[in-house]
Amino acid sequence: MTEMINAIKTCLKIGNSDTMRRRVGARRLSAIVPGCETLTGDQYLECMARTKVVRTNHQVGTARMGDPNNPYTVVDSLLKVKGMENLRVVDACVMPTVPFGNTNILTIMVAEKASDIIKSTINCFTQNPFISQNKLPSSPYYQKPPLSPNVIL
Q: Indicate which residues carry an active-site annotation.
A: 58
95 binds ligand FAD (CB under 6 A): no
Count of helix runs (H) and strand runs (E) in the chain: 6, 0
89 binds ligand FAD (CB under 6 A): no
Smallest separation, CB 128 to ligand FAD (Å): 24
> In terms of CB distance, is 65 or 92 closer to ligand FAD?
92
Find the part of the chain contacting ligand FAD (CB under 6 A) among 73-81, 102-110, 122-130, 135-143.
102-110
Q: Compute φ and ψ for 80, nearest 5 degrees.
A: -90, 135
Q: Compute φ and ψ for 100, nearest 5 degrees.
A: -70, -40
d(CA 58, CA 74) in angstroms, rounded, equals 19
Q: 3-state DSSP call for residue 29?
A: coil
Q: 3-state DSSP call for residue 80?
A: strand
Lay out the site mask for ligand FAD across 8-47 (x = CB under 6 A, - = otherwise): ----------------------------------------
Q: What residues make contact with ligand FAD under the rule CB under 6 A?
A: 57-58, 91-93, 102-105, 107
